[in-house]
Structure 1
Amino acid sequence: MTSTHPATRAARAGTHTRPGGAPPLVPALHQTTVHAYPDLASLHRVLDGEDHGNVYYRFGHHNGHVLEEAVADLEGAADAVSTASGMAALTGIVTALVETGGHVVADRNAYGGTRSLLETDLPRLGIDVTLVDGTDLADVARALTSRTRLLLVEALTNPTMRVPDLPALARIAAAAGVTFAVDSTFATPALLRPLEHGADLVWHSIPKYLGGHSAAMGGIVAGRADLVGRIRQSVVHVGATLGPFDAWMALLGLKTLPLRMRAHTRGATAVAGFLAGHPAVTRVHHPGRPDHPHAEVVTRLFPGGTGGMLSFELAGGRPAVDELIRRLGPAIPLSPSLADVATTLVHPATTTHRSLPPEDLEVLGITDGLVRLSVGIEEPADVVAELGSALA
């Protein structure tokens, strides 16, 4: 019998509504932390993996599963697991696959947050880390030992846009019995699928190109089913599960990924060409340039272009950077992230890599005059004109 008391009716409002026969065109958002079951037997079948279903959000949920299936399909992966952030994805990889006493080899030309995790947190867990130049195959091979469990690189490094030879690194890792994982945030599966080049795992920071609009938070790892299964367990244990709303927003952004990446590539190529000929600029880091140190690797791995990221060095150093930021104003804002549909810039030495000491920044080529530019999907001529005016 249905109660007429307002408290009872309010608490149960909408919980028994069933959808009609016509499904919505846009994937539905299931914003709930838990699901209800008719009996213990039904619940136990799901918990034991005999039936498909969702129980509690930390164990996974509908929107997360939909996003995982979509990214796994785009990457050509057997499985994927979504996480609360890109750093949570990397943390899940390490904690699932490396035990105390283990060893990780990673490219030193990586995002500052990655470096902090590797150099600060992993040693406290009894995990040794060796940083190498990921584009120097001999340097990588020398660093691998019998204790090495992971080799970590970025497909396009942040912020100097170096390009490791993924197939060659995959062969080195396989010969040593080491899991090879690639951060492909800058590249996305629209331009590069690392698993096709021998990687075991690929991970992304969702707020960047996968989401595309600086709105959806999260991270995701895709790859071999056995490895992803272990990472999923680690993510559940530490509570690093992605929320349903962010998974839902990320899926909406994912639908336009190939279209956006073509526009980002077109814009960045035009901007890099302009900057390379400007007297205020001493160097341009863009993989599409013929003078790029890894041009041959780029030609093999990125036939469809390299996306919207580039960096450049100003002859005037830090004062020139400050003046450029001031002159660009709201048109091209200072924003410590990347991959939005609108163009943004950042000063790596004092933002993304501010945790590194000066001597490490020097080794990485991150100078006081280095600016990282994330070129959006605007008309390239407009971005070039705005930069030209600010640099005049």
Structure 2
Amino acid sequence: MKVVAQSASVASGGNWHDETTVLHGDAGLASDASVVAPIHYSATFRAGTADEFADMANTPRHPGFYTRYGNPVHKRVEAILAELEGTETALLMGSGMGAISTTILGLLSAGDHVIAQQRHYMSTSKLFEEVLPRFGVHSTIVDQTDLQAIAGAIRPGTKLIMVETPVNPTLSITDLAAVAELARPRGILTVADNTFASPLNQKPHALGIDIVVHSATKYFGGHHDITAGAVCCSRELAERIWTMHTTLGAVLSPMDAWLLLRGLRTLALRMERINANALGLAQWLQAQPKIEQVFYPGLQSHPQHELARRQMTGFGAVIAFSIKGGFEATSRFVSALKLATHAVSLGGVETLVVHTAAMWAGTMTEAQMQAAGIEPNFVRMSVGVEHIEDLKADLSAALKGDPQ
């Protein structure tokens, strides 16, 4: 059965820059003359004849049959995301973890072996370490910065390697091209979580990765008002993942898909400002006497800076840093911030800050946090689009303990 075309190539031919793709990559999919895409807020769609209904029902990912299968707004967003990531197609889901879990469950079976990173987003780690073993899928967890460890973990039954770069929350980097070179000759699929970079800063598929996943909640939405996930890959893989998606039902609502489409329109503008702000703040933080260490791939002090420069064109919103004085001093610092908002997530227009050890203390053991590189005085900051001097003033006052 033919998969409904999801690539933006009909509109752009792959010749546009990303800044143009986010605005016009879905132009060939317009259903009317509206400048702004309409919201197709319908769970189900009418067929004109019995034959038409049968065709709709038996066409994978049909955008006008039932919204769990697809929706016209989904199709427009998917076209843009596929073009940005350079893949044949894309799938939308209700959250980033929905995208990751559906992808993994759609591609693996009992008896399969997978390789995952020592440092992943917490829920991704739980998927590999706690959930998959219940279904007979075995995982080997390796240090993602050690290619020999990845190569040494490969077995005859290894079917998939999952990577994430930059990694949450320590911002270490995984060599995407090297992982792809290890996997592809052996017929092993590779999946990369590109959430922390975005396709404007890093394109894993161009480096040989088979499947690229995102928490679209972050940069793509850009305004902290939706949860969404995306999978970018070949049409053949997408159909396999979509089949699992219709079973699990992690569906993105038409309204959230429309908000996601609206967020994508300004992605390039926001990323330009965010990249500049984050690099400037990371450099400024390094010079502050109460800062113990700063972790940001754009800094020359980052141990994998040269690798980051090779596979990234920008370094993203997230800065991690440690405060002198331990847990209590870090807690006071985060509580004293006035402009930066104390909240989870990343990639939006507002700057967000979390005390990482405090956030995950209830869901991770001390040993798990140590394995993930989360120290008691660790702060994760997602830099927004505010004026950088105002952000510096807010951080400076909180470091000094001055009232504002």
CA contact (8 A) 2:118 2:371 kept: no
Helix, strand or coil for the counterpart of 2:221? coil
Question: Which of structures 1 and 2 has the bigger CA Rg?
Answer: 1
Paired with 2:159 and 2:95, the residues of 1 have a C-alpha distance of: 23
1:236 pairs, out of 246, 261, 265, with 246
Q: Does 1:201 align with 2:211?
A: yes
Paired with 1:49 and 1:375, the residues of 2 have a C-alpha distance of: 42
CA contact (8 A) 1:262 1:307 kept: no
Q: Does 1:130 align with 2:140?
A: yes
The amino acid of 1:327's aligned partner reads A
Paired with 2:63 and 2:202, the residues of 1 have a C-alpha distance of: 33
CA contact (8 A) 1:344 1:374 kept: yes
Paired with 2:139 and 2:364, the residues of 1 have a C-alpha distance of: 16
Where does structure 1 differ by over 4 angstroms across 4 or more consecutive aligned residues?
A: 50-53
Q: 1:234 to 1:371 in 2, by over 3 A?
A: same
C-alpha RMSD of the superposition: 1.6
Paired with 2:156 and 2:286, the residues of 1 have a C-alpha distance of: 45
Q: Does 1:356 align with 2:364?
A: yes
1:345 pairs, out of 348, 353, 361, with 353
Q: Which runs of 5+ in 1 are unaligned?
A: 1-20
For residue 321 of structure 1, what is the aligned residue in structure 2?
Answer: 330
2:103 pairs, out of 67, 89, 93, with 93
Q: 1:279 to 1:53 in 2, by over 3 A?
A: closer
Helix, strand or coil for the counterpart of 1:266? helix
Q: 1:354 to 1:111 in 2, by over 3 A?
A: farther
Residues 58-69 of structure 1 aligned to structure 2 (within 5 Å): 58-69=68-79
CA contact (8 A) 2:170 2:320 kept: yes
The amino acid of 2:383's aligned partner reads V
Residues 261-276 of structure 1 aligned to structure 2 (within 5 Å): 261-276=271-286
Paired with 2:207 and 2:280, the residues of 1 have a C-alpha distance of: 28
CA contact (8 A) 1:336 1:352 kept: no
For residue 187 of structure 1, what is the aligned residue in structure 2?
Answer: 197
CA contact (8 A) 1:348 1:354 kept: no
For residue 383 of structure 2, what is the aligned residue in structure 1?
Answer: 375
Paired with 1:94 and 1:50, the residues of 2 have a C-alpha distance of: 19
Helix, strand or coil for the counterpart of 2:68? helix
CA contact (8 A) 1:116 1:355 kept: no
Q: CA deviation at 1:47?
A: 2.1
For residue 66 of structure 2, what is the aligned residue in structure 1?
Answer: 56
Helix, strand or coil for the counterpart of 1:371? strand
Paired with 2:186 and 2:47, the residues of 1 have a C-alpha distance of: 47
Paired with 2:233 and 2:322, the residues of 1 have a C-alpha distance of: 36
1:176 pairs, out of 186, 210, 229, with 186
Helix, strand or coil for the counterpart of 2:342? coil
Paired with 1:203 and 1:96, the residues of 2 have a C-alpha distance of: 14
For residue 139 of structure 1, what is the aligned residue in structure 2?
Answer: 149
CA contact (8 A) 1:112 1:353 kept: no
For residue 18 of structure 1, what is the aligned residue in structure 2?
Answer: none
Paired with 1:101 and 1:168, the residues of 2 have a C-alpha distance of: 26
Helix, strand or coil for the counterpart of 1:351? helix
Q: Which runs of 5+ in 2 are unaligned?
A: 1-30
The amino acid of 2:241's aligned partner reads I
Q: 1:370 to 1:187 in 2, by over 3 A?
A: same
Paired with 1:146 and 1:232, the residues of 2 have a C-alpha distance of: 27
Q: CA deviation at 1:27?
A: 0.7
Q: CA deviation at 1:22?
A: 6.6
CA contact (8 A) 2:77 2:260 kept: yes
For residue 26 of structure 1, what is the aligned residue in structure 2?
Answer: 36
Residues 221-300 of structure 1 aligned to structure 2 (within 5 Å): 221-300=231-310
CA contact (8 A) 2:160 2:189 kept: yes
Q: TM-score with structure 1 length normalisation?
A: 0.91
Deviates more, 1:97-106 or 1:320-329: 320-329
Q: 1:323 to 1:384 in 2, by over 3 A?
A: same
Per-residue Cα deviation, 1:1-54 (whole angstroms, up to 9, x for no partner): xxxxxxxxxxxxxxxxxxxx9711111100110011222111012223399652
For residue 104 of structure 1, what is the aligned residue in structure 2?
Answer: 114
Paired with 2:236 and 2:47, the residues of 1 have a C-alpha distance of: 29
Deviates more, 1:349-358 or 1:66-75: 349-358
Paired with 1:177 and 1:45, the residues of 2 have a C-alpha distance of: 34
Q: CA deviation at 1:205?
A: 0.4
CA contact (8 A) 2:114 2:159 kept: yes
For residue 167 of structure 2, what is the aligned residue in structure 1?
Answer: 157
CA contact (8 A) 1:111 1:353 kept: no
The amino acid of 2:44's aligned partner reads V
Q: CA deviation at 1:252?
A: 0.6
Q: Does 1:365 align with 2:373?
A: yes
Q: TM-score with structure 2 length normalisation?
A: 0.89
For residue 16 of structure 2, what is the aligned residue in structure 1?
Answer: none
Q: CA deviation at 1:282?
A: 0.8
Q: 1:224 to 1:352 in 2, by over 3 A?
A: farther
For residue 308 of structure 1, what is the aligned residue in structure 2?
Answer: 317
Paired with 1:50 and 1:324, the residues of 2 have a C-alpha distance of: 51
For residue 177 of structure 2, what is the aligned residue in structure 1?
Answer: 167
